[in-house]
Structure 1
Amino acid sequence: MKASPAEQQELLRLQSLDTRLQQLAHRLGALPQAAALAELAKRDTAVRGTRAEAFGTLEDARAELTRLESDVEIVEARIARDSDRLQHTSSTKDVAALESELVSLARRRADLEDQELVVMQRVEDAEGVVAGIDEERASIAAEAAKLEGERDQAAAGLATERDAAERDRVVVAGGVPADLLKFYEQRRVRGGGVGAALLRQRTCQGCNMTLTGSAFEDVRRAAPDDVLLCPECDRILVRTDESGI
């Protein structure tokens, strides 16, 4: 392939922009806030699991308290009923039976009320645990929001740089002959993002191989408009006054 030295040297400008775009893409994909946000997301997932367990404990305690309150209401209703019957009966036998039952009901109510106090404490403790977990989640959310703001600001700055580099690339690529540009793109794909490299002091800047022997002679004897490839990395080898040939 043939291309003037000036056209070949434009490939170095194009390569510089492509390298810059690669760097910006890497930085956009590896913002420092991303790792911290991922860690916060893992923490939040773990905390949500803990909250689910704690809330289950709270709900169980509340259900037990509701049952005890219902049992107390039933006992109190029976006490009220028996007390009313006691006031309206003249039967000695009925009086004795009602008084005995009222004593038993009073003991039952006292036992239930003692259980209520214990379960009420369990409910209060469980509510405290859930509230503490909710505070932790709120703290995680606040930290995540702060990191997201920093990430978005950093990403916006990098995106601005990327957009400017992409515009510059369009301009530079527009000045490169189509066949040379196509060849460069092919080399760039094969070369891991590097399609053209400067030959400086007989050394390819793409792979750091120093040309010697027949490889150097081939380059030295080539016409200025010959498009050469590095014998080591197979990238376009661009010659300038720095090449040392």
Structure 2
Amino acid sequence: MKAASEAQLRLLDLQELDTALDRLEHRKRTLPELAEIQHAEERLGKFSDAFVAAQTEISDIDREQKKAEQDVDQVRARADRDQKRLDSGQVSSARDLENLQSEIVSLQRRQSDLEEIVLEVMERREEAETRLRDVESDRETSEKTLTELSARRDAAYSEIDGEAELTRTARAGVATDIPDDLMKLYDKLRDQHRGVAATALLRGQCQGCHLQLNTVELNAIRAAAADEVIRCEECRRILVRTKESGL
């Protein structure tokens, strides 16, 4: 392939710009905020699940408390009725009177036991409410952290995109100085060699694979015409001759 030496030198400018674009893209993919956002989202998900669990627990306790209070009311009402019968003198039989008094005592014990259950349930509800407040506070903190991290990420994206846009504009200007066939070869080699298609020959060394060319290879390059497109025999990248090539 033939191309003016000036066009070949422009390949180095193009390569530098493409490498800058690759670095910007890599920076965008590996922003530290991305890992922090993922961690914050995972924490927020856990707190959200814990918040729902705490709400569900309180709802279950409320039903349990309501049932226990209803049981207390039923026992208390039964004891009140028996006490009224006892106080009214309606029961005249000694046996019935003894049974009624025994039942009242039994109901009072039952009421006391049920009231203890109600108190225990109320204590558990207070504990569940404390856990709910703690989880809600943690969730709000995580939401705030996630918002801040997202803002930092978006600001970094904006900065990177701005640099990339300027670099792409500069690249477009450089590309106009390079013949189509050379550009096609360059693009093909970029795909094959991790983005590096053109490199300088610096003091007899290929800056792509960093191998020193031997005397035979260097003599062949010296003998080549200025418009001959040289390829490194080792890595097959385009090898651009410069004043520092050592030829």
TM > 0.5:
yes
Q: Tell me how large the CA RMSD over aligned residues is.
A: 2.2
Distance 1:182 1:139 in 2: 53
Corresponding pairs, count:
245
TM-superposed deviation, 1:50: 4.5
Q: Deviations over 1:25-75 (max 9, x none)?
A: 000011111112222223334444545555554444333212201211222
* Alignment correspondent of 2:69: 69
* Alignment correspondent of 2:13: 13
- Asked whether the 8 Å contact 2:85–2:91 carries over to 1, the reply is no
Does 1:133 find its partner at 2:158? no
Deviates most, 31-40 or 149-158? 31-40
Does 1:213 find its partner at 2:215? yes
- Asked whether the 8 Å contact 1:71–1:112 carries over to 2, the reply is yes
- Asked whether the 8 Å contact 1:89–1:95 carries over to 2, the reply is no
- SS where residue 167 of structure 1 aligns? helix
* Alignment correspondent of 1:187: 189
Distance 2:176 2:209 in 1: 27
- Asked whether the 8 Å contact 2:199–2:206 carries over to 1, the reply is yes
- Return the match for 1:169 from 157, 168, 171: 171
Distance 1:103 1:240 in 2: 110
Distance 2:62 2:214 in 1: 86
Distance 2:149 2:162 in 1: 20
**Normalising by structure 1, what TM-score?**
0.90
* Alignment correspondent of 2:123: 121
**Normalising by structure 2, what TM-score?**
0.89
TM-superposed deviation, 1:206: 1.4
Distance 2:7 2:71 in 1: 94
- SS where residue 242 of structure 1 aligns? coil
- SS where residue 241 of structure 1 aligns? coil
Distance 1:142 1:117 in 2: 38
Identity %: 38
- SS where residue 244 of structure 2 aligns? helix
* Alignment correspondent of 2:235: 233
Distance 2:17 2:155 in 1: 23
- Asked whether the 8 Å contact 1:14–1:169 carries over to 2, the reply is yes
